[in-house]
Structure 1
Amino acid sequence: MTRGDTALPVTLDRGSAVPLAVQLADKLRESAATGHLRGGDRLPSTRALADRLGVSRTVTSAAYEQLHAEGWILGRHGSGTYVTTSPPAARPERRGFVTNDEAPDNLLMLTPGVPWADGLDRAAWRRAWRAAADTAPAAYLNRAGITEYRAAISEHLLRHRGLDAGTDSVLATGGTTAAVVELASAVLRPGDLVAVEEPGYQRAVQAFRRAGVRVVGVPIDGQGLRPQALPSGVRAVYCSPAHQYPLGCRMSAARRVELVERARAEHFLVVEDDYDGELRYDVAPLPLLASLAPDVVVHLGTTSKILTPTLGAGWMVAPPSVTTAVLDYRELTGTRPSPAGQWVLVELARHGDLGRHLRRLRRELSERRTMLVGAFKKAGVPVLGDDAGAHLVVPLPTQEDERERVSAGKRRGVLLDGLGRHFARTPTVYGVAVGYAGCSREGLQESLWVLVDLLRQRPR
C-alpha cells in the first residue's frame, strides 16, 4: 500500500462474528482517520489486497464499496484507487464533544428527520414538565417502562394508528435506534442475517452491525420493499412500510401480505419502524403491519418526529418471546429507558395536549408540503414521495448532480440532504431530500426561490 510503498498493517480476525469486509473497512477507515493513510495515497487493487490478506476478492470489493460510499476513497479510471480524506493536522485537546446534529447558525435547516419543535405549545410544555416533576422519586424503575406511559401509548396507538395493543403489550424504549440496539443484542445473535431497505435508515444499520449482525440491503421501488428480493436465511427484516425513509413511498397492500406470509413461513421477524406514521395528509394513517400480523411483527414508534427528541422516549409492541428477551436483556445489563420523558408524555396526553398538537402538526406540515410541491411543479421540478411525513425527495440523474446541489445549497444558506448517505453500499438512486419541519414557515417561504433554482433540472 503506497504513498511510496509504505506498508499498512491490516490484520483480520477470522474468529470474530464481525464480517471480514466490515473489519477491513473499519481498519482502512481508522488508518485514514489517524493519519497512517493520507489524501492522495494509492491503495492496492481489490485483487492484490485479497491475495495479500488471504481472503476472497468479494471481501475487499465490499470494503472498498463501503469506503467509496462514505467518501474515504475514490477510483480514478486507469490509475487506481486513492484515499481522498486526510486527518486533521493536529489532534486538539479533548475538552468536549463535537456534534454535527445541528445546522450552523447561518444555514436554514431543510434536512429530513427534524420535527416541528417550534410548534409545541410552550404553556402546555411547561405545565407537563411541572406536573412530571411532582412525581415522587423512584427507588426502582420498572424494566418495561412506567405503567402510565405504557397506557398512554396504548391509547395513542389505538386512536392514531388503529393498533389495539393493551398496556401490558407495550414496552417503553429510548427511541427507535435504542430499540434496534436492544433487539440486535437480546433477540438476534452475532452472525445472524438481517435485511434492510436500501436506501434506508443508516443508524439502524450501524446498530445491527455493532452487535455483530450481518446486514444485507434489499432494493425498494415505488411500492416499497420488494419481498421477493429477500435472501433466504434472514432472521429479521427492518423496514418503514407506512412512509419509507428516505424515499417517502408506502408499501403496497399486496407486498405487506406477501412479507408477513413469508415471515411466518420462514420464521423471521419483521421490524416495523413507524417513525412518522401519524403524519399522513391524503388519507387516514395507514394500517400497521403489527395489526396484520402481531405474531411476527415488532412495531417501533418514537416521540422524536411528532414531538421532540428532548423526551428521548419511544415504544415497542412485539410478540411475547421478543418482549421477554428484551426485558431479560435489560435486567442483565441494568439498562432501561429514562422515565423523565415518559412522565412528560403522560402529562401531555392526560390534558389532551398531545392530541391537539398532532392535529395542529398535521395541518401545518400539510400546508408546508402543499406550498413546496406547488412551487416545484410550477418550475418543472419532479417530486417523489407520498402526501405524508415531513420531507420530500427531488430525484437527480447522477451522484455528481446530487453532490453539486447539496454543496450549492450550503453556499446559498440552506442545508439539504443527499440520498447517497442513506445507502449502506454504493448508491443506485440519486437526489436531494428536502425537510420542511425543522424551520419556520417564514424561513421556508423565503427559501422557495433558492430551492427551485437549486433543484431545477439543468441541460447537460
Structure 2
Amino acid sequence: MPHAVPAASSPLLELAIDLRRDDPRPLAVQLADALRHAATLGQLRGGDRLPSTRALARHLEVSRTVTAAAYEQLHAEGWIAGRHGSGTYVTTSPPGSRAGATTGADRGARQADEPMVVLTPGVPWAGGVDRAAWRRAWRAAADTPPDSKPHRGGSIEYREAITEHLLRHRGLVVGGLTVDNVLATGGTTSAVVELAGSVLRRGAAVAVEEPGYQRAVGALRSVGVRVVAAPVDHAGIVVDAIPRGVQAVYCSPAHQYPIGGRLPAERRIALVERARAEGWLIIEDDYDGELRYDVAPLPVLASMAPDVVVHLGTTSKILTPTLGVGWMLAPDDVAACVLQHRDRTGTSPAPAGQRVLVELARHGDLGRHLRRLRRELSQRRAFVVEKLAAEGVEVFGDRAGAHVVLPLPDAETEQRVVAMAAERGLVLDGLRRHHCGPQQWFGLALGYAACSRDELERALPILARLCGNA
C-alpha cells in the first residue's frame, strides 16, 4: 500500500512508493526501481535533495539497510550523487546517457563526490555567525529561569532589543509608537498568518507583488484570504496598478523579492496616500532592509505612516532560521487584534530564540555581526557582478541584499539552464516559482550568501557559460 505523506522538504517523500513484501524482488531492488522510474518521468528532477537513508526508512517503515542498498545502487548507476554531511541529490540522468553526457573538455562537469553548490536566494550567511558569541548567548539565555506563563506579545527584553535594533539599523524613529507596538513573531510568514486571521476579513482581497514572496501568498490563502496580483517593475511595486477594493497590500519596499528593486520615495508617498484614501493596511516586509551597500537604507514605511503600516522583520535572513523569531511593528488597533487572536488560540511566539537574540544584542554581538555581514555580502556582490559582466552576462538588482537577477529570454530557456546547472552541481532558482499567475519575468534569482567564497568562485564560470549559451 502507498504510504501516507508527512510534511517534508524532499519531493521524494511526496511520492507514493509501493513496496510489496509479496513481490519476489528484494525491497531494496523495488525501491531503486521506483526511484529510477520517478527520475525518468520527471517526478524527481536534477538538483532535488533526497532524504537521508534513515529518514526514508522511517517514512517507508522498512529497515535502513533497504534504503541504504537502494541508494548505493542508484549512486553506482549515476542517478544520484552526494557527499557525507552535504546530502544526496538527484543528478537528472546517469552518466553516458544522451541527456547527461559530458566530455572531458567540459570543465563544468561535476564529479560524483562533489556537493551541490546552493545559489538560491533567501538563505542567510550562517557560516559568518561568530561561534563564540553564539555559544555565549545560548549559555546566558539558559540562565534565565523558566517561564510560568506565556508572554503573548513576546518578552519585554526582546521587544526592547528589537526597538533598539530598528532605531540603530533601520533608522526608525516614530513619535507615539512604543515598545507596546512591537510584538515578537515566529517570523515573517507566521506574522502574515496572524494578521490575516486577526485583522483581515475572511474572503477579503489582498494585493501581493507579482512576482513576489509565494510563502506569503500561501499563508494568506491558508486562512481564506483572496490574493490578487500587483505588478512590479525594476523599482518595485507599481502603485497605480494595485487593484482597487483590496483590504491590504503586501510588499517588500526595501529590496523587492525577487526582482531586487528599491521603492523610490515618490512611490512610497503615493502608496501611503492610496492606503489612507482607500482604507488599506500596508504590510511591509522589510526583506534585506539592513543590507544596503551603496547608500544608507531608505527609512521604513512605518516611519512615514505608522497609522496604516505594519512592519515585519525576521532574524532568519540576517542571522539564522535556528532562532525562529521575528517582529511586528503595528498600530495600536492592529497590535491589540493580534494579541486577542493569540489569547483566543492559545498561541505565543517561542521564547528561546527571543532570549538568545537579547543576549546577542546586549553584548554588541548582533551589531558586530551585521557590520561583518554587510562587508562580506557587499564584497560577494561586487565579485559576482564583475565576474558575470566580464563574460557578457547581464545582471540587475539594487546594490543590496544577498541576491541578484540574471535575465533570460523565456521560460523554456530558464528551465533548461536550471536543469543543466543541476547536472553540473549548481542549485539555481528560476523566477517561475515566484509568480502566482502567468510568468512575466524570466531569469534566475542568484543568491550568494549560502555558499562559500570558494564555491562561488568555482560556480560562476559554469553559470556564465550556461547563460551565455542559452
Normalised-by-shorter TM-score class: 0.7 to 0.9
Structure 2 residue 187 is the aligned partner of structure 1 residue 178: no
- C-alpha contact (below 8 Å) 2:256/2:287 kept by paired residues: no
Structure 2 residue 395 is the aligned partner of structure 1 residue 386: no
Q: Which amino acid aligns with 1:345?
A: L
The equivalent of 2:226 in structure 1 is 214
Q: Deviations over 1:339-364 (max 9, x none)?
A: 00000000000000000000000000
Q: 1:379: how far off?
A: 1.1
How far apart, CA to CA, are the structure 1 residues paired with 2:466 and 2:314? Answer: 33
The equivalent of 1:133 in structure 2 is 142
How far apart, CA to CA, are the structure 2 residues paired with 1:160 and 1:421? Answer: 31
How far apart, CA to CA, are the structure 1 residues paired with 2:288 and 2:126? Answer: 14
Deviates more, 1:346-355 or 1:448-457: 448-457
The equivalent of 1:57 in structure 2 is none
How far apart, CA to CA, are the structure 2 residues paired with 1:197 and 1:186? Answer: 22
- C-alpha contact (below 8 Å) 1:199/1:219 kept by paired residues: yes
Structure-to-structure mapping, 1:297-308, within 5 angstroms? 297-308=309-320
Unpaired segments ≥5 residues, structure 1: 1-31, 36-83, 97-101
Q: Which amino acid aligns with 1:143?
A: R
Structure 2 residue 376 is the aligned partner of structure 1 residue 364: yes
Structure 2 residue 209 is the aligned partner of structure 1 residue 200: no
The equivalent of 2:98 in structure 1 is none
The equivalent of 1:40 in structure 2 is none
How far apart, CA to CA, are the structure 2 residues paired with 1:136 and 1:238? Answer: 38
What value does the CA root-mean-square deviation take over the aligned residues?
A: 2.0
Q: Deviations over 1:32-53 (max 9, x none)?
A: 9889xxxxxxxxxxxxxxxxxx
The equivalent of 1:442 in structure 2 is 454
Distance 1:199 1:141, change over 3 A: same
- C-alpha contact (below 8 Å) 1:313/1:342 kept by paired residues: yes
How far apart, CA to CA, are the structure 1 residues paired with 2:117 and 2:314? Answer: 25
Q: Deviations over 1:60-89 (max 9, x none)?
A: xxxxxxxxxxxxxxxxxxxxxxxx9779xx
Structure-to-structure mapping, 1:336-347, within 5 angstroms? 336-347=348-359
The equivalent of 1:154 in structure 2 is 163
How far apart, CA to CA, are the structure 2 residues paired with 1:182 and 1:415? Answer: 32
How far apart, CA to CA, are the structure 1 residues paired with 2:58 and 2:293? Answer: 49
Percent identity at matched positions? 62
Q: Which amino acid aligns with 1:424?
A: C
How far apart, CA to CA, are the structure 2 residues paired with 1:117 and 1:364? Answer: 12
How far apart, CA to CA, are the structure 1 residues paired with 2:315 and 2:88? Answer: 25
**How many residue pairs align between the two structures?**
371
Distance 1:86 1:450, change over 3 A: closer
Q: Which amino acid aligns with 2:144?
A: T
How far apart, CA to CA, are the structure 2 residues paired with 1:172 and 1:305? Answer: 16
Q: 1:251: how far off?
A: 0.9
Q: 1:94: how far off?
A: 3.5
Q: 1:434: how far off?
A: 0.7
The equivalent of 1:349 in structure 2 is 361
How far apart, CA to CA, are the structure 1 residues paired with 2:87 and 2:275? Answer: 40
The equivalent of 2:321 in structure 1 is 309
Distance 1:267 1:363, change over 3 A: same
SS of aligned partner of 2:306: coil
How far apart, CA to CA, are the structure 2 residues paired with 1:225 and 1:364? Answer: 28
Q: Which amino acid aligns with 2:277?
A: A
Q: Which amino acid aligns with 2:314?
A: T
- C-alpha contact (below 8 Å) 1:240/1:272 kept by paired residues: yes
Q: Deviations over 1:189-243 (max 9, x none)?
A: 2110000000000000011111111000111012211111111110000000010
Structure-to-structure mapping, 1:55-454, within 5 angstroms? 94=59, 104=88, 106-164=115-173, 165-454=177-466
Q: Which amino acid aligns with 1:158?
A: L
How far apart, CA to CA, are the structure 2 residues paired with 1:210 and 1:162? Answer: 34
- C-alpha contact (below 8 Å) 1:151/1:166 kept by paired residues: no
Q: Which amino acid aligns with 1:163?
A: L
TM-score using structure 1 length? 0.78
SS of aligned partner of 2:230: strand
Q: Which amino acid aligns with 1:456?
A: G
Q: Which amino acid aligns with 2:468?
A: R
Q: Which amino acid aligns with 1:148?
A: E
How far apart, CA to CA, are the structure 2 residues paired with 1:33 and 1:447? Answer: 31
Q: 1:457: how far off?
A: 5.3
- C-alpha contact (below 8 Å) 1:110/1:415 kept by paired residues: yes
How far apart, CA to CA, are the structure 2 residues paired with 1:415 and 1:110? Answer: 6
Unpaired segments ≥5 residues, structure 2: 1-13, 18-40, 45-55, 62-85, 90-114
Distance 1:281 1:103, change over 3 A: farther
Q: Which amino acid aligns with 2:438?
A: T
Q: Which amino acid aligns with 1:374?
A: E
